[in-house]
Amino acid sequence: EVQLVQSGAELREPGESLTISCKGAGYSFTSYWIGWARQMPENGLEWMGIIYPGDSDVLYSPSFQGQVSMSVDKSTNTAYLQWSTLKASDTAMYYCARRLGRANHHSNWFDSWGQGTLVTVSS
């Protein structure tokens, strides 16, 4: 069974840094893209980007380029989402998900999702 288990809720102050994690199990972690999505309170899903654990290739959505960093640790089957300087507007639920489909991205979908990590940024 494919499982993605995310790290727990975080409370930070503006200006602080943060890294949240997403640990994959039950499949070949390095063979599938992992994506991240943001959901701000009472809002819809936003596509942040995807990372390929096999070679750490990353594709960021233009809206999130430069705002966050994605990385992986193949030795622990874990993907990470990092902020160097948090803002109040980063307050949201963040989901990781496994991406299936074709290499050219024209046919891709998220088939398994983590439970979400709630990030609250407040002074």
Taking CB under 8 A as the criterion, the residue among 53, 114, 119, 121 binding other proteins is 114
Q: Specify the residue, 14 or 26, whose C-beta has the smaller distance to other proteins.
A: 26
Pairing between β-strand 10-12 and β-strand 117-121 as defined by DSSP bridges: parallel
Cα–Cα dist 35/52, whole Å: 9
Asked if 75 is part of the footprint of other proteins (rule: CB under 8 A), the reply reads no
SS3 24: strand
Cα–Cα dist 49/63, whole Å: 10
Q: Specify the residue, 62 or 66, whose C-beta has the smaller distance to other proteins.
A: 62
Asked if 62 is part of the footprint of other proteins (rule: CB under 8 A), the reply reads yes
Inter-residue contact 34 to 79 (CB < 8 Å): yes
For residues 21 to 60, the per-residue mask of contacts with other proteins, x marking binding by CB under 8 A and - elsewhere, is --------------x-x------xxxx-xx--------xx
Q: Which span (13-21, 68-76, 78-86, 113-121) binds other proteins, by CB under 8 A?
A: 113-121
If you search the block for the tokens 């990781």, which residue do you land on?
A: 96
